C-alpha cells in the first residue's frame, strides 16, 4: 500500500543546502512504499578505479582507493570504532550544494560520485556513511537515514542515526556537528522521519518512531540504486 507522507512547512524548499523538498498536493509528490534494496555490496575493481580517474582525476582515484582500503581492512573493528572512522572519513569532504556540484536542484550522489567530486551535501554524507557502514557489517536494522530540521539554521537537513540496541537513543552522524552524539543531546535538530532499506518511520521524539510503510518508490533512491549498479558494472534493472 502506498503511503502519502504529509510534512508541514519544513518540506518547502528552505535552502539549497540539502536540495528540494515537496509537500504532497502542492508540487511533485514524494512517494513512499514497498521494499527498497539499496545495495548488495560495493564493488571497486580496477575498472572502477580507472573510470573514476578518467572522470574526476588522479586525486579522486586515490580517494576511492583509500575508501576501498577502509572497507576491506576494518571489518573486524568494533561498531563504535567503525562509526568514528566512517564519520571522520566522509566529513573531510567539502560541503557544496547540488546546484554547484551537479547543476540540479536535488541530486542524491552515490558514494563514488561524492568521493570523486571531493564534495557533498548533507544527503550525500548520510548516504555514503550508510552504505559504507553496511559494507563494514553494521546491520541495516541499526541504522536510519533521518530527515530533520536544523533549528539554528532554519533549514531541512539529513543525518545518519545508529541504534546500538533496540529502543536505545540513537547516535547521530552529522556533517554540521562532526562529533558523534546521542540524539537527546542534539537539541539543534528536530526529527521528521527516517528510513533505511527496510522501512519508513515517522519520527517520535528522538527515538525510532512509528513505522508507516516501506521505501521502494522514493524516486531519488531508485535513481541512486541504478547509478550504483552501473558503477559496479551491472546494468540490470
Residue 31 is part of a domain; what is its CATH number?
Answer: 3.10.620.30
Instruction: Evaluate whether residue 63 is within a structural domain.
Output: yes
Q: Is 130 part of a structural domain of the chain? A: yes
Query: Is the residue at 174 inside a domain?
Result: yes
Domain that holds residue 202: 3-231
Name the nearest CA neighbour of 145 among 200, 95, 77, 96: 200
Q: Is the dihedral of CA 194, 42, 123, 236 positive or negative?
A: negative
| pTM as predicted | 0.78
The label of the residue with cell 527496510 reads: 198
Residue 236 in domain: no
Residue 67 in any domain: the answer is yes
CB 71 within 8 A of CB 136: yes
So what's the pLDDT on residue 3? 34
Of 170, 112, 108, the residue nearest 138 (C-alpha): 170
pLDDT tens per residue, range 93-137 = 999 999 999 999 989 999 999 999 999 999 999 999 999 999 999
Cα→Cα distances 47→50, 54, 199, 227, Å: 5, 10, 33, 16
Residue percentage of the chain with pLDDT more than 70 = 70
Q: How many distinct structural domains can be found in the chain? A: 1
Q: Is the pLDDT of residue 43 over 70?
A: no
237 occurs within a structural domain: no
Stretch 51-79: mean pLDDT? 96
Q: Mind listing the pLDDT tens digit for each residue in 137-161?
A: 999 999 999 989 999 999 999 999 9
Residue 123 forms part of a structural domain? yes
Asked whether residue 110 is assigned to any structural domain, the reply reads yes
Amino acid at each position: 500500500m502506498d503511503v502519502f507522507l504529509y510534512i508541514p512547512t519544513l518540506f518547502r524548499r528552505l535552502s539549497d543546502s540539502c536540495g528540494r523538498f515537496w509537500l504532497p498536493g502542492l508540487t511533485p509528490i514524494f512517494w513512499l512504499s514497498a521494499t527498497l534494496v539499496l545495495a548488495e555490496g560495493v564493488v571497486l575493481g580496477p575498472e572502477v578505479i580507472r573510470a573514476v580517474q578518467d572522470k574526476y582525476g588522479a586525486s579522486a582515484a586515490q580517494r576511492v582507493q583509500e575508501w576501498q582500503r577502509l572497507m576491506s581492512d576494518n571489518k573486524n573493528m568494533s561498531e563504535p570504532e567503525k562509526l568514528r572512522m566512517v564519520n571522520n572519513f566522509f566529513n573531510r569532504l567539502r560541503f557544496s550544494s547540488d546546484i554547484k556540484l551537479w547543476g540540479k536542484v536535488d541530486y542524491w550522489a552515490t558514494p563514488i560520485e561524492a568521493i570523486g567530486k571531493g564534495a557533498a551535501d548533507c544527503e550525500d554524507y548520510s548516504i555514503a556513511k550508510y552504505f559504507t557502514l553496511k559494507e563494514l557489517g553494521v546491520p541495516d536494522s541499526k541504522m536510519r537515514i533521518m530527515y530533520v530540521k536544523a533549528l539554528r539554521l532554519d533549514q531541512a537537513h539529513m543525518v545518519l542515526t545508529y541504534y546500538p540496541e533496540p529502543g536505545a537513543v540513537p547516535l547521530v552522524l552529522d556533517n554540521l556537528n562532526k562529533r558523534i552524539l546521542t540524539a537527546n543531546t542534539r537539541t539543534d535538530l528536530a526529527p521528521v522521519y527516517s528510513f533505511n532499506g527496510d522501512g519508513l518511520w515517522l519520527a517520535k521524539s528522538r527515538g525510532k518512531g512509528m513505522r508507516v510503510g516501506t521505501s521502494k518508490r522514493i524516486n531519488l533512491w531508485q535513481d541512486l540504486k541504478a547509478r550504483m549498479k552501473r558503477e559496479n558494472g551491472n546494468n540490470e534493472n
